[in-house]
Amino acid sequence: MSIQVWTWILVGITFTIYIGIAIWTRAGSTKEFYVAGGGVSPLANGLATAADWMSAASFISMAGLISFDGYDGSVYLMGWTGGYVLLALLLAPYLRKFGKFTVPDFIGDRYYSNVARSVAVFCALLVSFTYVAGQMRGVGLVFSRFLQVDINTGVIIGMLIVLFYAVLGGMKGITYTQVAQYCVLIFAFMVPAIFISIQMTGNPIPQVGFGGADENGIYLLDKLDGLHKELGFAAYTSGSKSTLDVFLITAALMFGTAGLPHVIVRFFTVKKVADARKSAGWALLLIAILYTTAPAISLFSRTNLIETVSNKEYEKMPDWFGNWEETGLIQFDDKNKDGKIQYVADANKNELIVDKDIMVLANPEIAGLPNWVIALVAAGALAAALSTAAGLLLVISASVSHDLIKKMINPNITEKGELIAARLSAVVAVCVAGYFGINPPDFVAATVALAFGLAAASFFPAIILGIFDKRMNKEGAILGMVVGILLMLFYMLKFKFDWFGGGTKEDWWFGISPEGFGTVAMFVNFILSLIVSRFTAAPPEDVQEIVENIRIPSGAGEATH
């Protein structure tokens, strides 16, 4: 069977499973809609958290980014993995003990202020919409190549699917759908990696194959460094970013992870504080399977791409090249009219442009794997993108219905009314997310990296100080969040979107990239928050008691509400 037929079959089966789970687990109350009723087991929550966490950026874009950037791309591996450890150990159990539905809910109650809640809602919406844009672009990429539809049409199809199970099932439906999506995405990621590892090194374990040698006894990393040198590219194993920028990007991804509202809310779905810790452990183990495999896929795909296309006759290229060319994600311009593809570092001589986001998706085709494996990767990529998109949409929905409407605008709204508001806001959120998916600011990983910078600049200081600093008050938290998010927004808009007079890479402040600037904005937030809190009134006694209470270890005790 053709790739397209296999893709329709596998995508059809997986989508049917997701919709069936949504119908089976549909939410009947606001608690089920927001936190799945608070009764999810640690293992199920670990699986769901892993799927929620491993987005299109992890599945599609991270390995592609590493395959092009080599050593420089490792910041994404270090930052995202380290960030999850930080979240699991430092924040999740305490937030679960606090027992709120959302991050703005925690900030509003901890800082005894609707102004703080409003700022947190704004930040949650901004972070979530920036993040979800990357997911929707990932969905569009998969549909455009494997189901032969326009990228925009693919985004719309993805919107309709995620809308169905997010609106119907809420967090309850999303949780059990994400369990299924984790199984799909990890199987789809590992199968081609194992095939290609055997093909290139004879070893079925990709992590071992990464450091292995080919049939001629040449280590793959040395081989790729040699290919890069021949074509004028920087050595794959060397970096071009400054040490400062590498540090700041890694830190922004780490601290941004610990401030991501759609990941944090997952820890509110378990019964006990102890279960929050256990589910964090399960999630970390499950995430590690993909994250330790990604560098191997990067190495395999980059080597295969160069050997397949460099100095080869265009007319004799395999079918996969033409298929991806039709999507516009590979572009060939025969500058010297010799009919051969010159893939070199010199921009004036280079004739091939390859979108970084296609590397994982095209890798099985480049390697000549069976059609069902190629289709499986498409189904896995959709699972990764849709699982995270659903979690983000729920955060947006809860921020509007629970934090804005229930807590501020209409405290007397009925549970049924709040549930309707939650579902309507999810519909609006999907439409906005679809727009950003059709008009994304950059390739998937870069778009997502900006969301982490925004989360680090706004949420992380407010959450960490809210847990560990009794003296932190509403004035310090509000000013810190406002200045942090505005500073990050300004830098992002100036250097990514050419607002405020635009700016080039040479104009970056101290050579810091927009992806790394979230760390700077975060430190500004911390400093302002601490200074202002020391020169203004201390929080009320009852708030200080709450802070003391959530820090007391309570292994298996029920979380108080």
Would you state the pLDDT for residue 557?
A: 47
Would you state the pLDDT for residue 348?
A: 86
Instruction: Give the residue from 453, 462, 468, 469 showing the smallest Cα distance to 525.
Output: 462
Residue 23 has pLDDT above 90, yes or no: no
Residue 330's SS3 state is strand
From the centroid of its chain, how far is CA 449?
8
From the centroid of its chain, how far is CA 559?
29
Residue 555 has pLDDT above 70, yes or no: no
Span 280-311, pLDDT tens digits? 888 889 988 998 999 999 999 999 999 888 88
Between 8 and 168, the higher pLDDT residue: 8
Residue 458 has pLDDT above 60, yes or no: yes
375, 6 contact by CB (below 8 A): yes
Would you state the pLDDT for residue 560?
A: 45
The domain spans of the chain are: 3-551
Would you state the pLDDT for residue 75?
A: 85
H-helix or E-strand spanning residue 333: none
Residues 6+ apart with CB under 8 A from 410: none
Percentage of the residues of the chain whose pLDDT score is greater than 70: 92
Span 241-250, pLDDT tens digits? 888 888 998 9
Instruction: Give the residue from 286, 268, 264 showing the smallest Cα distance to 40.
Output: 268
Would you state the pLDDT for residue 561?
A: 46
Average pLDDT over residues 256-273: 77
For residues 267 and 42, what is the distance between their CA atoms, to the nearest angstrom? 9
Residue 179 has pLDDT above 50, yes or no: yes
Rg (CA), the chain: 23
Residue 184 has pLDDT above 80, yes or no: yes
Percentage of the residues of the chain whose pLDDT score is greater than 90: 20
Alpha helices for 399-443 (secondary structure H): 415-438
Residue 413's SS3 state is coil
**Residue in the structure block whose two tokens are 């290919």:** 227
Is residue 352 classed exposed, middle or buried when 0-12, 13-18 and 19+ CB atoms within 10 A define those classes?
Answer: middle
Two tokens, residue 547: 């802070």
Between 494 and 499, the higher pLDDT residue: 494
Residue 24 has pLDDT above 80, yes or no: no
Residue 151 has pLDDT above 80, yes or no: no
What predicted TM-score, i.e. pTM, was given to this entire model? 0.81
**pLDDT class for 465, splitting at 50, 70, 90?**
very high
Span 511-520, pLDDT tens digits? 888 888 999 9
Q: What is the DSSP letter of 538?
A: P
User: Which one of 81-90, 103-112, 439-448 scores highest in mean pLDDT?
Assistant: 103-112
What residues form DSSP beta bridges with 354?
330
For residues 236 and 229, what is the distance between their CA atoms, to the nearest angstrom? 9
What Å distances lie between residue 20 and 28, 34, 174, CA to CA? 16, 20, 12
Residue 128 has pLDDT above 50, yes or no: yes
**DSSP line for 155-215:** HHHHHHHHHHHHHHHHHHHHHHHHHHHHHHHHHHHHHHHHHHHHHHHS-S-HHHHTT-B-T
Q: To 5 degrees, how large is the angle CA 539–CA 455–CA 76?
A: 140
CB-CB neighbours of 226 under 10 Å: 13
What residues form DSSP beta bridges with 331?
353
Residue 521 has pLDDT above 90, yes or no: yes
Average pLDDT over residues 458-466: 92
Residues 6+ apart with CB under 8 A from 59: 138, 185, 189, 290, 360, 380, 381, 384, 385
Q: Which long-range contacts link 345-349 to residues 24+ away (Cβ below 8 Å)?
A: 345/231, 345/232, 345/233, 345/234, 346/232
**Residue in the structure block whose two tokens are 């799945």:** 36
**pLDDT class for 531, splitting at 50, 70, 90?**
very high
Would you state the pLDDT for residue 101?
A: 64
CATH superfamily, domain 3-551, is: Sodium/glucose cotransporter (1.20.1730.10)
For residues 390 and 549, what is the distance between their CA atoms, to the nearest angstrom? 33
Residue 397 has pLDDT above 50, yes or no: yes
Two tokens, residue 122: 């704004």
Residue 443 has pLDDT above 60, yes or no: no
For residues 193 and 369, what is the distance between their CA atoms, to the nearest angstrom? 11
Instruction: Give the residue from 394, 368, 370 showing the smallest Cα distance to 261.
Output: 394
H-helix or E-strand spanning residue 338: none
Between 260 and 297, the higher pLDDT residue: 297
Two tokens, residue 132: 């979800």
**Residue in the structure block whose two tokens are 């708030």:** 543
Would you state the pLDDT for residue 442?
A: 57
485, 457 contact by CB (below 8 A): yes
What residues form DSSP beta bridges with 340?
313
**DSSP line for 61-119:** IIHHHHHHHGGGGHHHHHHHHHHHHHIIIIIHHHHHHHT-SSHHHHHHHHTT-HHHHHH
For residues 399 and 104, what is the distance between their CA atoms, to the nearest angstrom? 7
Would you state the pLDDT for residue 134?
A: 72
CB-CB neighbours of 43 under 10 Å: 15
378, 59 contact by CB (below 8 A): no
Would you state the pLDDT for residue 29?
A: 65
**pLDDT class for 476, splitting at 50, 70, 90?**
very high
Two tokens, residue 414: 């009925």
145, 3 contact by CB (below 8 A): no
384, 291 contact by CB (below 8 A): no
Residue 27's SS3 state is coil
Would you state the pLDDT for residue 485?
A: 93
Terminal Cα-to-Cα distance of the chain (whole angstroms): 55
Span 306-332, pLDDT tens digits? 988 888 888 888 888 888 888 788 888
